[in-house]
Amino acid sequence: MGASDGTVLRLFDPHRDPPDWTDLLARGDCAVFLKHRTDSTALAPDGRPYANLRDYTCVVFHTLDAAQRFCESKVHDLPHVRCEIYDNDGLLHPPMLVILHPEFQLKEDSGPIWSRRRKLIMGLLIVLAIPLFWIGSRGSVSSDIAIFLGINCLLLALRFLYWHAGSSISERKRRERLEAHRKSEGGDA
């Protein structure tokens, strides 16, 4: 059973030896998982949800380029599909690549647009906190509310900073793993 030039591999096969699907992957292999773009429902290679999750499969490729071509073709034909490409460690790490239809790629919260939005929101919250603290320092009737709101603006700005830092670190690690995988493929060829 195959999909393009990849091999469809059933994840849960009680009759297989070895039973763990990652033990079947060689160094440099890539596993592609298809999911629904909006709700992450597991999808079969034809783009339909599984009737039984015991039938869950991935498509294994020997090179990252072949996996990427398969994914780009799949999301072009089925825009509701999101393809996630993992290395031979399987689901141990986040995917090396996530391929979406180009129309939806920029809407991902890990993309450059969301990075700018997080920074902008963080800056606006800090700027908003300054006049609130000033109003609170004047001793008016609403000073307690203004200080309360100012503190909450700063706390929310810190939350956006934390979110941005976590996303940046995850993206950097993903890029490093992707580059290491590409180098290992280049060294093997």
Are 30 and 120 in the same domain? Answer: no
**Statement to judge: residues 9 and 92 lie in one domain:** yes
Same domain, 171 and 84: no
Q: What pLDDT is stored for residue 188 in this prediction?
A: 54
pLDDT at position 168, please? 84
Amino acid letter at 120? L
If the chain, 189 residues long, is cut into consecutive pieces of 10 residues, what is the mean pLDDT of each piece? 73 81 88 91 90 88 93 92 90 88 65 80 95 88 90 95 87 86 73
The count of other CB atoms within 10 Å of the CB of residue 36 is 15
φ, ψ of residue 2 to 5 degrees: the values are: -135, 165
In sign, the C-alpha dihedral spanning 9, 186, 84, 102 is negative
pLDDT on residue 189: 46
The pTM is what? Answer: 0.73
164: containing domain: 112-188
- Are 135 and 81 part of one and the same domain? no
Domain count, the chain: 2
> Residue 158 contacts by C-beta under 8 Å, 6 or more apart in sequence?
none
123/95 same-domain check: no
Cβ within 8 Å of residue 174, ≥6 positions away: 94, 95, 96
* Strands, E assignment, 16-126: 30-36, 42-43, 57-61, 81-86, 97-99
Residue at a domain's end among 48, 83, 105: 105
